[in-house]
A and B are shown apart, each in its own frame.
Chain A
Amino acid sequence: MSQVKPVVLFETEGSYPYSGGGVSTWAHILCTELENDVDFHLLAITGNPFVEPRYKIPKNVVDTIHIPLWGVEEPVHYYDKTMPFSGQIEKKANTTREIVKELFLPLFKDFISCLNDPFQDVDKISDVIYGFWKYFQHYDYKITMKEPILWYVFKEMLTDKYVDNYDAELGDTPKVIDMTFGMRWLYHFMMPVSAPIPKEINVSHSTLAGFPALASIAAKYEYGIPSMVTDHGVYMRERLINVGRSDMTFFSKKLLVDLSTMVTRAVYHTADQISPVTTANQKWEERFEADPKNILPIYNGVDTDLFKPTPKPSKTEGVPTVIAVAQVFPLKDIETMIRTCAIVCETIPNVQFTVYGSLDVDPDYVQGCRDLIDELKLNDNFTFGGFHNNPSMIFNEGDISILTSISEGFPYTVIESMSCGRPVVATDVGGIKDALEDCGILCKPRAPKEIAEGVIKLLEDTDLRIELGNKSREKVLLNFTTDRSVKNYLESYNELAVKPRSPLKETVKTESVLKLLKHLKMSKPVYGD
């Protein structure tokens, strides 16, 4: 193996180190566990600038480039610490209308053509993203993006695509507000493309295949730095679900999804390694340009010393107890869990279902669940436990665990329960099968009867429950430990860090980008060069 210490540009969005949650926990474990083996430069995207790290940053995190997408008037100065503000002023002065017209406008036109057809040649999309990065290393982001000519080109290209060549199937035409938001989103979401790339890095690792990985694309083009992407969920799938359901106009949704689509495709296309946390997402990844030979799942891991089997505490002793750990909101389908409880009660009247997790995510949904509990007269059998101050003990309170989600990635709660030797009855969605196969019970989603049968079977058959519990623990020890997960990442970093570098800028074919590169080669160096 190599002698090169991996120095990783670790790219996050809405998570580590400024927010809590599963991805942040995973990221923190990774950084902390690799304290002696890997140095990290964080590139963290947040919504606003006023956030504080939620975690104690380990020593090997040598730098944080914090990019707030909103709330900063001079964004580049906020995150580009390599240049004093006087240098930024000089960049502003250099960003003349002629420069924008001559160098940026062709890039922008290509970019919008990609946005209008995000499934076109992915090489072109990647080239243009690199072109953006290269341009913004020399010229000011805000002044450029505010140039009126870009707005008019944007308008013309949207009109050409959606008005002049009206596609009746879409069932709508863009409104002025779509254009306003569309262009503002470009300004905000593309900000990471103007971030400087630390020269000392030798690997880039994005925690999702979206906007933070723009830096990976640039690094790959400029320096040939190998990159990897971790997919906890599938970014595009989640984007399609969340944007699709949002309260926006049709074209605002479309522009946002198309922007994400082109970025995601470029990210997958340029990534050397795509590591989903489960095999279940591969079909989605492949649809967005992920090369199957680059897909190498790395499962999440659990601390098996912390999550270990212990006897049930006195408060649940003698009571058939089913534990769930889930935030109470529709994707977790708690209503099905309640209906399951009702069916189980018919056979095991003293069964106790307890759901630990936040009740604040969707108060209306929580109320609906409470109403259902009242309606089914389950107040003695089904309770919301809220926050638990000792997560590792939660699963040991029960005989078994349950998860009724209708959509999942690779949930920690399942492997944590398994690590505690408590078998799980869960819906067969996302990557749950990877964890539960042969050691738990998989059911159809939204099928309370089937789920209840699984619960009853495990609660009534003690031998089976113990057998599956033991198997679960064994499976975790074998496949899903933190050590193993972290070791897999370290191996990937080590391999990527010594991988021969071949900067993709040598392969650029897009005219607008070639023109920019030629211009920059011939022009005198500007500040910071």
Chain B
Amino acid sequence: MRLTGYRRPDGRVGVRNHVVVLPVDDLSNRAAEGVAALIPGAIPLPHPYGRLQFGEDLELTFRILSGHGANPNVYGAVVIGIEPKWTERVASEIARTGKPVETFSLEGYGDLRTIERASRAAYRLMQEASELEREPVEVRELVLSIKCGESDPTLGLAGNPALGQVVDLLVDAGATVIFGETSELTGAEHLIAERCATPEVREAFLRTYRDYVSMIETKGTDLLGSQPTEGNIRGGLTTIEEKALGNVQKTGSRPVRKILRPAEPVEPGEGLVFMDSSSAAAEMITLAVAGGSVLHFFTTGQGNVVGHPLVPVIKISPNPKTCETMAEHIDVPLPDLLVGEIGLEEAASRILDVFERTVRGRLTAAELLGHKEFVLTRLYPSA
């Protein structure tokens, strides 16, 4: 494969070269968006949280925010918060990668002066980033991620087994590939448990899965009506077991080597790894990007349109109706695989071809259409 990317000061490799304007809290969204309005190309990541969170939930928010600044697709970060202490906490984690980070807090300055100062920083970072050149990179230097959404049985038959072949090939070439979707393993969790590389990994996986089920039980409810979703049911999926058995096809066949907490950072070269995560598209992708994923593969049956502000999301669909009615969202249409006119190997080589071109800079459907979903996972309410 002929791949090019951007090498960061810590040696990690990105496939995009963004400058990010990161609000630490909801109150700083306005300033972050103000900076992005003045400096075209700088990417703001507004979100509704970051105040009065505590404990594990706060740690997760910090991990997601600093993980986005630290992601190898980012050249440098402008971090803005209401007060300096938490702002510094997020910024110092990003600075550990050696990339440029500038921090600003609103108290004592107000929006207008902060926007001016932070815009001057973003201006400088954008110009520096623009001088960085792509260089040849290897698959083994990449962290990637996978998920499916608006699933239907065409994924279990065609889209996911094709992606599974690609995942095997990338893992064999040394990449790290993150999969997740804890709730969506229900009915197929035994198949993932069997593939765990060691008894310790298996125990960690089963503990994560059981903790999730216990959490639902304590709510006194079940997920009927949510898993599968109404869109899944319309597409032909009847039960969570059926959805899960289709879902796991995309993980390929290699051993599961690590169990990650949500948004936990992971290095390249770790093989196939599981991240405890929501099955909601934008939440899962956001957690994987915080963990270091620089490119995401997304299979869809009924037509999910998700993207991410920093990471190209490659959409793959074997559903002929979706490929026709939502063509502008699909990077790799595979309806001929569904009806058996091509085989899995041909389908996998088409996905790999688009992967190579996307790594080298080709824009994905989601990038072209401006899909920039950035969604924080919360564990419980704020104080």
Q: Do A and B assemble together?
A: no
